[in-house]
Amino acid sequence: MKISKSFKIYIHIIVLSLISQNLIGAEDFSKNVIIYEKPQIISELKFKDSNLQDVDLINKRGKIMIINFWATWCAPCRKEMPSLEKLGIELPEIDIFAVNMEKPNNLKVDKFFKDIGVKNLKTYYDPELRLVKGFKLRGLPTSILINKEGKEFGKVIGEIDFASDEFIKLRSEEHTSELQSQPD
């Protein structure tokens, strides 16, 4: 059976169109970042540290916080975690809380961090999944962005490069007011 020349052209156009849409989508960094018009009040912000002691951030004010939800089995988390650590090193004025969504297991997490070259992130846990339910998480990784007033001003859904110029630009230019404390 012989395929017509016009059919071959149509197939090439369709394939090129699909490829270009995927490339454009991959380059549109802001699709993973949601910034709210009005920061939302957080009713509960409790989780456990690596010693399974309570950490309660509900009344913490004055610093920007990123609560990053992840797991050792999550491939996008594996790719994202080093950039999250780099952001924390470059911008110490941001508190980063990497909350593991698995059963607490410091040996497993330590091995995971060692395998991906992460040395400076502390491990936290949400063993009862209270935060997952409270923030209505749908997948991993997900990061909750909290302003200096302790309100959720945005969310990052899926993997991003926190150390990229795009994130720094997004953070510093477009949403500077969200990152600073805001009166009610």
DSSP reduced 3-state for 46: strand
The answer to whether 137 and 154 have CB atoms below 8 angstroms apart is no
The C-alpha angle 137, 143, 148, rounded to 5 degrees, equals: 120
Is the pLDDT at 93 greater than 70? The verdict is: yes
* The token pair that represents 29 in the structure block: 């960094």
* The token pair that represents 97 in the structure block: 């809380």
Is the pLDDT at 68 greater than 50? The verdict is: yes
What local confidence, expressed as pLDDT, does residue 167 receive? 75
Which value, in Å, is the radius of gyration of the alpha carbons in the chain?
20
First to last CA, the chain: 71
What's the per-residue H, E or C state across 87-145?
Answer: HHHHCCCEEEEEEECCCCCHHHHHHHHHHHCCCCCCEEECCCCHHHHHHCCCCCCEEEE
At how many degrees (to 10) do helices 75-90 and 106-116 cross? Answer: 80
**What pLDDT, in 10s, does the model give residues 95-108?**
999 999 999 999 99
**What pLDDT, in 10s, does the model give residues 9-28?**
555 455 544 444 443 334 45
